[in-house]
Amino acid sequence: MASYPPSRIRNVVLVGHNGAGKTTVAEALLFATGTIPRQGKVDDGSTVSDFQPEEIKRHMSLSLALTPVIVGDVKVNLIDTPGYADFFSEVRAACSVADLAVVVVSAVEGVEAQTEAAWQLATELGLPRLVVVNKLDRERAGFERTLAQLRDTFGAGIAPLELPIGEEAAFCGIADLLTDTAIFYENGASTSGAIPDDLADAEHQVREQLVEGIVVGDDALMERYLEGNMPSSEELEATLATGVAQGLVFPVVCGSAATGVGIDRLATLLAEIAPSPDKCPPATVRAGDTNQQVATDPSAQPLARVFKTISDPYVGKISLLRVLSGTIRPDTVLTNPRTHTDERLHVLQVLRGHETEPASEVQAGDIVAVPKLSDTATGDTLAPKGSPVLVPVPEPDPPLLAMAIRPKSKGDEDKLMTGLHRLQDEDPSLFVERVDETHQTILRGTGETHLAVSAERLQRKYGVELETEQVLVAYRETITNQAEAEGKYKKQTGGHGQFGVASIRIEPLERGEGFHFVDQVVGGAIPKQYIPAVEKGVIEAMVQGGVHGYPVVDVQVTCYDGKYHSVDSSEMSFKMAGSLAFKEAMAGAGPAVLEPISRLEVTVPASMQGDILGDLNSRRGRVQGTDTLDGGYQQITVLVPTSEIQRYAVDLRSLTGGRGRFRVEHDHYDVLPANLVDKLAKAKAS
């Protein structure tokens, strides 16, 4: 593919709720611009951007996909993203390299939860937005209703550029408010004409409001308008583009990606009013302790950031880069400041779905794929040698749901871990950990579908079948009283026997202090060389579990007496004596089960606060405070037993219709109520 300068590049991300039609919009844009010969469908898995088997099976996008199109002499890098909440990290990655967010909204369902989430993310990033009201050909579609929802949810900056001609199945064209003309569609062809009579009055009124809203952004244009001189459509479009880039205006266009109505006009608008990289604020990079601004200059030193990694079992890693400055050519050598590794970019590729096309050079502002970088991961910066700069990257979404996994075939443990690490390269929102207390390997993700898709990819790409089981809560035990016990280990065999006696006292420590061992043996009752063996035996007994079978913590053990035999005593005998003494003392020291307590921060619409508080109370939660946030949201901070929120990601989504979100982290351990100890014991026995 030819090289494009920054002024002729548009980086556009398609965002919105699952089912709003983002992938179909991308497909329609590819078809409308002549990039593909026929328009594929999500339902039969024939679209360019949804090409992975898991996406075809579920009929929805699961990861971001690049689908560049050429509009005139402009290259539009379209990035299609998932609309399902489990894969919002893909949306975050795509938005971090885009210069315009196209928010796709269904005219049937209207503004939905992930529409709001994507809008909020774009606001946080300062990303300009344009709204496409899609599916206007569907039954129960309503443009005016959807427009009112958009204004109620996102404010007065919402500005329609088009009105639909016809409703539902009769939707056949658009009234273009900028040019004051109608565009009619029939059998894949479009023709321009006058605004239909039944729409003329409404179109005139909305157009007048639009023009007044646009000219406010240009003093000279405003003055001419007040004098009675109507600006040309070109002048209006140029002034509108400035307002869009500044985040003051959010244009709304209408159409149907399935029938193609309005899609050619959308392609033109993306080329004409979407900000080009050289018109966007310069990138901020970190150099040591200072921040620096990097302009989008093709003649400067090359600098790029990896925003996505694709892991292919045959090709290996493919890194997707946005070039921030300079011009990159095949065999360019750049340094990864994180790993201090020199990376040779042997091959440059333009991705369109899963298809690739070689690139001879890529200028600042563009996006490129580079295979087989040896030591570079998602989020890494590639800079000139000796230029230790880092580009800030978005934090991965925190894990919200977990499942315990093991390979179905014994002997596949190494294969499993290799596959998991490669999946993590591709998806930084996946987390893997080994929990020694429960002897489980835990895979953490953002939801049920995320984990299920990860398991399917593990099998498809790396040949590892998984078995799953319930995640065990890491309970612990402690004591509430002081107790003493004597441990005697005596065994007579042929030759030397085994003999060791240790007397210990155990007492509780403050929560979180762990374990203290005190040696108070006097008079050589236990020789000094055997005291560490007593401690080792105690520690092993604590790890094996107390009365209820859970690891013991927050205990001080004092060894104050004992007996030994000059011939039969050994480290083994005193280790066994220490273990036996601890187990006996534990039973008489008021053992208690400790449960992990999590700190949960739940953010929900204010109208749902009461329901959420009631639910948290039913989970034995202790509310620590509530805060009012912008946009009508409340943040509730609560301490809640970890066992009560194992599936909170699923439950909160159900309770709030997907509008709630939360963060969770371990806070401390606390005593499990006695009535629940019995219940836990019965569950463990079964």
Question: Domain segments of the chain: what residues?
Answer: 6-169+247-279, 283-390, 401-469, 477-589, 594-685
401-469: CATH superfamily: Elongation Factor G (Translational Gtpase), domain 3 (3.30.70.870)
How large is the average pLDDT for residues 608-635?
A: 94
Q: What was the pLDDT predicted at 681?
A: 83
Q: How far are the Cα atoms of 91, 95, 110, 123, 605 from residue 120, in angstroms, in the given order?
A: 12, 12, 17, 5, 13
Helix 648-656 to helix 609-618 angle, to the nearest 10 degrees? 150
Considering the segment(s) 594-685 as one domain, its CATH architecture is: 2-Layer Sandwich (3.30)
How large is the average pLDDT for residues 286-301?
A: 90
Q: What was the pLDDT predicted at 495?
A: 66
pLDDT surpassing 70 at residue 494: no
Is residue 212 classed as helix, strand or coil in its secondary structure? helix
Least confident of 25-34, 245-254, 506-515, 673-682: 673-682
Token duo for residue 403: 């499942």
Token duo for residue 608: 């749902």
Token duo for residue 520: 């108070």
Please give, one letter per residue, the 3-state secondary structure of 599-629.
EEEEEEEHHHHHHHHHHHHHCCCEEEEEEEE
Using one digit for the tens of pLDDT, what is the confidence trace for 206-265? 999 999 889 888 888 888 888 888 889 999 999 999 999 999 999 999 999 999 999 999
Question: Within 10 Å of residue 668's Cβ, how many Cβ atoms?
Answer: 12
H helix or E strand, kind and range, residue 534? helix 531-544
Identify whether the C-beta of residue 559 lies closer than 8 Å to the C-beta of residue 517.
yes
Using one digit for the tens of pLDDT, what is the confidence trace for 45-102? 999 999 999 999 999 999 999 999 999 999 999 999 999 999 999 999 999 999 999 9
User: Could you tell me the pTM of the whole model?
Assistant: 0.91
Identify whether the C-beta of residue 166 lies closer than 8 Å to the C-beta of residue 172.
yes
- What is the average pLDDT value for the chain, to the nearest integer? 94
Helix 22-32 to helix 263-273 angle, to the nearest 10 degrees? 90
Residues 581 and 504: their CA atoms lie apart, in Å, by: 7
Q: What was the pLDDT predicted at 567?
A: 86
What fold, for 283-390?
Answer: Elongation Factor Tu (Ef-tu); domain 3 (2.40.30)
Asked if 6-169+247-279 and 477-589 have one fold, the answer is no
Give percent of the chain above pLDDT 90.
85
Using one digit for the tens of pLDDT, what is the confidence trace for 354-398? 999 999 999 999 999 999 999 999 999 999 988 878 888 877 778
Strands (E), 22-138: 65-71, 74-80, 100-106, 129-134
pLDDT surpassing 70 at residue 136: yes
Residue 474 C-beta-side C-alpha neighbours within 13 Å: 18
Considering the segment(s) 477-589 as one domain, its CATH architecture is: 2-Layer Sandwich (3.30)
Token duo for residue 667: 């806070």
pLDDT band at 286; cut points 50, 70, 90? confident
Using one digit for the tens of pLDDT, what is the confidence trace for 304-326? 999 999 987 777 899 999 999 99
Give the chain's length: 686
Q: What was the pLDDT predicted at 686?
A: 66
Identify whether the C-beta of residue 102 lies closer than 8 Å to the C-beta of residue 244.
no
Is residue 246 classed as helix, strand or coil in its secondary structure? coil
Say which amino acid occupies 665.
E
pLDDT band at 492; cut points 50, 70, 90? confident
Of residues 271, 296, 270, the one with CA closest to residue 283: 296
Please give, one letter per residue, the 3-state secondary structure of 217-238.
CCHHHHHHHHCCCCCCHHHHHH
Least confident of 10-14, 237-241, 639-643: 237-241
For the chain, give the longest Cα–Cα distance. Answer: 116
Helix segments in 1-142, DSSP class H: 22-32, 53-58, 88-95, 113-125
Of residues 338, 349, 175, 174, the one with CA closest to residue 259: 174
H helix or E strand, kind and range, residue 367? strand 367-371
Cα Rg of the chain, angstroms: 32
pLDDT band at 623; cut points 50, 70, 90? very high
Strands lying side by side in the sheet with 555-563: 483-491, 498-508, 555-563, 515-519
How large is the average pLDDT for residues 432-453?
A: 93
Using one digit for the tens of pLDDT, what is the confidence trace for 516-528? 999 999 999 999 9
How large is the average pLDDT for residues 585-613?
A: 96
> What is the domain class of 6-169+247-279 according to CATH?
alpha beta
Token duo for residue 226: 């007040």
